[in-house]
Structure 1
Amino acid sequence: MQQLTTLARDSRALAALAVPLALTQLAQVALTTTDTIMMGVLGTEALAAGGLALVIFNQLRTMGVGLATSVGNQVAAAAARAERAGTAEPTGTAADADTDAADQEVRGLVRAAMAVATLAGLAGAVLMVLIGQAATWLGQDAEVAHRAQGMLAALAPGLVPCLWFQAIRQFTVGMRRPQALLRITLASVAVNAALNWAFIHGTWGLPRLGLTGIGVATSSVYLLSFLALYASARRDDRLAPLLSLDFWRADAATVRRLLGLGTPIAATYGSEAGFFSVTALLAGSFGPAALAAHTAVNQLIYIVFQVAVGLSHAASINVSRELALGEYAAARRIKNTALACGAVVMTVVGTLYLALPDLVLRPYFDPNAPTDQQGLKIATGLLVVVAVLQFFDCAQNIGVGLLRGLDDTRSGFRITLVGYWAVGLPASWLLAYPLGGETRGLWFGLLIGLATTAVLLLRRYGRALTARAATAPDAVAAGA
């Protein structure tokens, strides 16, 4: 009974940060979901081409986000240290000096994060266009590749403001003030849908761009979202004094520290995104219908994955905070709480997939359209695999966040290399080609890779936390 009471209390504490983050993530994924639905309206070939473009864009965007992700942990730790010093010394010069030092550290972290985001956005935009040009060399249909290139060219300019938004986002999350994120992201969904329609069909005096118009609309929304988040932070009395966007003045040592922590995170995110990207390319080798089915189901996974991302970020921030306060037992409990919360959500969603597959896939395929029949059939079969796969996908994402809370970002990267590439990808290839499983075989391989990764990450967190607690003189929790 005591354990249930503790779990309930910890769940409420985790949810206070995880719920707004998860809702924000879900609102953000609504942007690409809207894009995907609009592609489906344009036909199976447009869905295949647009899906290929989004795979490439998300690969580079995800890695760019990873470079700035550690900012939230660093900000949270600095704030916790200031809080701890203030508790020990409620008044006086020493407490004020500690607070000022923490504020200065946070301000420097924001500058450095913006510098990293700018460089990553520019480099990613160039790579995006180059990869699009090489799509036909990767086994994609020539017409699909050509249409994807136009969309990638339109998406590329939006990468810099997208990463600026993420840098400011990590700052607000680390300060435990993420509420404005949800309002802004919800508004961006409506704006994105309207601009998608306008640029696709040429309404309101705008040019008719078809599939490319979706990329133009998405880039515009990323810029507007960044401006809105910046304006919101400037109106917050606590955040405004710490918000420094003059990234050209960033301290080189702070930039190196963020890159040292962020590069393995980016590599970890990229490793996962790359794992899914390669399987998308493999799915494309089975034809446009298989790629369309893969795109639709992958988008569903991406939607549910945002709940795991919210839990992962909240758990990560809370681990950083508890370690800064010396509460090692609390940091250990965070793992179990996050996994339990994730399992509840995945069970509900998996039941929906199995009970109502036609409803779930209706936004992507028209069951009355002959050209959509094959893609719908393939996607329906994939939902059975996905219902199980998402448990491991959630668990491995939480594991990455927990390790990030320990500032152990390198282990996550090494483990994903093993789980995704040494286990998952060979399994996908074997099940899809030699064993004849085709697209479903690819997804069974994904499941195996994610399961392996989850087990290794969670085991590493438990061992690393135990080792740190054993050598920490200020551990205050019993059993640490």
Structure 2
Amino acid sequence: MPPALTRLLTDSRTLATLAVPLALTQLAQVALTTTDTVMMGLIGTEALAAGGLAMVIFNQLRTMGVGLVTAVGNQVAAADARGEKADSEAAREEVRDLVRASLLLSTLAGAAGAVLMVLIGHAVVWLGQDPDVVDAAKPVLYAMAPGLLPCLWFQAIRQFTVGMRRPQALLRITIASIAVNAGLNWVLVHGTWGLPKLGLPGIGLATTSVYALSFLALYASARRDPRLAPVLSLAVWKTRPATLRRLTALGTPIAATYGSEAGFFSVVALLVGSFGTAALAAHTAVNQLVYIVFQIAVGLSHAASLGVSRELALGNTAAAQRLQRTALACAAAVMAVVGVVYLTVPKLVLAPFLESGGAGAMDIATQLLLVAAVLQFFDCAQNIGVGLLRGLDDTKGGFRVTLVGYWLVGLPAATLLGFVAGLDTLGVWLGLLTGLATTAVLLLRRFGRGIGRLSTASAPAAA
């Protein structure tokens, strides 16, 4: 076997050790929100609309809050690597301070987000939403808003455990939370076991409860881990202001990137919706398929990002550079297999979403699957690119690149191809593909230049 291929396989196995649990955890979280959606649908159409509105508001703020603490994993990985290299107590204290700062930042973001969630819940009626739906959504928002705090605490501890390369408990806890969430939904909605019948707000209360239980379970697991326990500190009052400022400076562009991406895809959905119900149904179905597969890229992105931070802390610039090729090769292999499935059995893939959606929606969705087979390569590549730049602590550069790719290239391309060229939904998706491809190329080029500068700077020292 050629040495290059042998090294790629070895690097792939190392990357997969961290990427697979993270990808499975992401997929399990998708199942968690899917469970809530199914339970809302069982209550009724109005409940689904109101609950869906509450979830959109909650998920937007949750996503941006998660972005604020995402860089914690990179900082922990780098500090832990320095501690292992020099057996430095100062490095271990740095990890403790990063944990304290991340929990403080999560608390501040969670409290602000909870207040903002309630305010948005009252304001959306001015944006043309049905007043009855908004009134039904408000109690759900009141029940879900406190859940932002344990949700972000969980994310802070999650980034800590992943940065320390101990992600095993994450998957177990997330899978268990699906079953607990389903049970709590049923009990709180229907009022079984002597509890009051809460109806739709019961789903919001179940969500908050599951986030709180998940945080406690992950914290307890970390406390039992002999490698994690010595550096796990909840003494947030001891946080160094400089550490809090550093995490905020790194996390704010990530939160903005996540918010920008979510906003871009929301605008694309609005563009498609102008072509009719069948077009929007087709878009929703194919977009959900892409979103599910995208979780694999998220796992690879986080694993590669943490790997870059760790290797750079150890002075292994060449190893950090190889992570780009390894992550992209793994993503391409998975996307190729998925793409073949899209192209060979499109109706089978779409049946769970559009079985009763009519021939029009199915025909449009089949066309979109052809675009998705190519689009998902670039979607995964741009997500990996963002993660690689995060490994370089270049979160601002990643945000600027995504603004260009999404809004200055992708949105105009979608508008031109969809409306001016008359390609309708297919044109919008081709524009979406163009934006993602541009973003991927620019992100990977920026990483290549950044890691190249580091390689050049370290060459004389190595000599």
Q: TM-score, normalised by structure 1?
A: 0.87
Alpha-carbon offset, residue 352 of structure 1: 3.1
Spell out, residue by residue over 1:213-235, the C-alpha distance to the aligned partner (whole angstroms, 9 max, x if none).
43332222111111110111111
1:409 partnered with 2:401: no
Task: Name stretches of at least 5 consecutive residues in structure 1 with no aligned partner.
Answer: 87-97
> Is 1:311 aligned with 2:312?
no
Q: Which residue of 1 aligns with 2:97?
A: 108
| Counterparts of 1:25 and 1:122, CA distance in 2 | 24
Residues 287/159 of structure 1: CA separation in 2 closer, same or farther (3 Å cut):
farther
SS for the counterpart of 2:249 is: helix
Instruction: Give the stretch that moved more between structures: 336-345 or 236-245.
Output: 236-245
Q: Which amino acid aligns with 2:432?
A: L
- For residues 106-127 of structure 1, give each alpha carbon's deviation from its aligned partner in whole angstroms, at most 9, with x where no partner exists: 0000000001111111222222
- Please give the alpha-carbon distance, in whole angstroms, between the structure 1 residues aligned to 2:224 and 2:260: 38
Aligned equivalent of 1:70? 71
> In the superposition, relative to structure 1, how do residues 445 and 196 fare at CA in structure 2: closer, same or farther (>3 Å)?
farther
Give 1:463's match in structure 2, choosing from 420, 439, 449.
Answer: 449
Q: Distance in 2 between matches of 1:357 and 1:195?
A: 36
| Partner Cα separation in structure 2 for residue 141 and residue 376 of structure 1 | 29
Look up the SS of the partner of 1:407 in the other structure: coil
CA distance in 2, matches of 1:152, 1:286: 31
**Partners of 1:374 and 1:137 in 2: how far apart?**
33
Could you state the TM-score of these two structures normalised by the residue count of structure 2?
0.90
Match of 1:421 among 407, 432, 436: 407
Partner residue of 1:119?
108
- Cα 1:104–1:316 change in 2 (3 A) is same
CA shift in 2, pair 1:209/1:433, >3 Å? farther
**Conserved? CA contact 1:59–1:277, under 8 Å:** no
- Percent same amino acid among aligned pairs? 72
**1:147-226 → structure 2 map (5 Å cutoff):** 147-226=136-215
* 1:273 and 2:262 matched: yes
Residues 37, 363 of structure 1: 8 Å contact kept = no
Preserved CA contact (<8 Å) 1:305 1:393: yes
- In structure 2, the CA distance between the partners of 1:193 and 1:356, relative to structure 1 (3 Å rule), is farther
CA gap of 1:278–1:132, structure 2 versus 1, over 3 A, is farther
Compared with structure 1, are the counterparts of its residues 101 and 241 closer, same or farther at alpha carbon in structure 2 (3 Å cutoff)? same
**Residue 79 of structure 1: how far off its partner (Å):** 1.3
Corresponding position: 1:249 with 2:238 = yes
CA contact 1:27–1:185 (8 Å) conserved in 2:
yes
1:226–1:49 distance in 2 versus 1, CA, 3 Å: same
Could you tell me how far 1:36 is from its partner in structure 2? 3.2
From the superposition, tell whether residues 214 and 344 of structure 1 become closer, same or farther in structure 2 (CA, over 3 Å).
farther
Equivalents in 2 of 1:22, 1:359: separation in Å? 24
- 1:318-375 CA-to-partner distances (Å, cap 9, x unmatched) read 11111111111111111010001011112222333344445444554552xx7x7776
Judged with a 3 Å threshold, the aligned counterparts in structure 2 of structure 1 residues 131 and 382 are, in CA distance, closer, same or farther, namely farther
The answer on 1:398 being equivalent to 2:398 is: no
State the alpha-carbon separation in 1 of the partners of residues 345 and 391 from structure 2: 38
The one-letter amino acid of 1:30's match is A
- Counterpart amino acid of 1:177? R
Residue 289 of structure 1 and its aligned partner are, at CA, apart by 6.3
1:218–1:376 CA distance, 2 compared to 1 (3 A):
farther
User: Quick one: structure 1 residues 209 and 446, their matched pair in 2 at CA, closer, same or farther if it must change by over 3 Å?
Assistant: farther
What amino acid is the match of 1:3? A
Separation of aligned partners in 2, 1:322 and 1:227: 31
Aligned to 2:290: 301
Deviates more, 1:9-18 or 1:350-359: 350-359
Give the letter aligned to residue 291 of structure 2.
Y
**1:387 and 2:376 are equivalent in the alignment:** no
Higher mean displacement: 171-180 or 292-301: 292-301
- Could you tell which deviates more after superposition, 116-125 or 51-60? 51-60
* Structure 2 Cα separation of the partners of residues 473 and 394 of structure 1: 32
Alignment partner of 2:332 out of 343, 359, 362: 343
Judging changes above 3 Å, is the alpha-carbon distance between structure 1 residues 109 and 279 closer, same or farther for their aligned structure 2 residues?
A: same
Pairing of 1:87-98 with structure 2 (within 5 A): 98=88
Q: Give the RMSD, CA atoms, in angstroms.
A: 2.8
In structure 2, how many angstroms separate the alpha carbons of the residues matched to 1:204 and 1:401? Answer: 46
Deviation at residue 212 of structure 1 after TM alignment: 4.1
C-alpha separation in 2, matches of 1:9 and 1:274 = 38
Shift of 1:276: 1.8
8 Å Cα contact 1:48-1:288 kept in structure 2: no
Q: CA deviation at 1:40?
A: 4.7
SS at match of 2:165: coil
Q: Is 120-129 or 252-261 further displaced after alignment?
A: 120-129
Query: Deviation string for 1:4-27 (max 9, x for gaps)?
Result: 111111101111111111111211
User: Deviation at 1:463?
Assistant: 0.6
Match of 1:352 among 310, 332, 341: 341
- Paired positions, count: 462
**Equivalent in the alignment of 1:236:** 225
Q: Distance in 2 between matches of 1:129 and 1:139?
A: 17
Distance 1:134 1:373 in 2: 38
**2: CA distance, partners of 1:145 / 1:438:** 31
Aligned to 1:35: 36
TM superposition shift of 1:197:
3.2
Structure 1 counterpart of 2:66, one-letter code:
V
Q: Is 1:451 aligned to 2:437, yes or no?
A: yes
| 5+ residue gaps, structure 2 | none
Q: State how far apart, in whole Å, the 2-side matches of 1:387 and 1:191 are.
A: 35
Report the more deviating stretch, 335-344 or 122-131: 122-131
> What's the CA shift string for 1:270-302, capped at 9, x where partnerless?
221221233344455666766555444433333
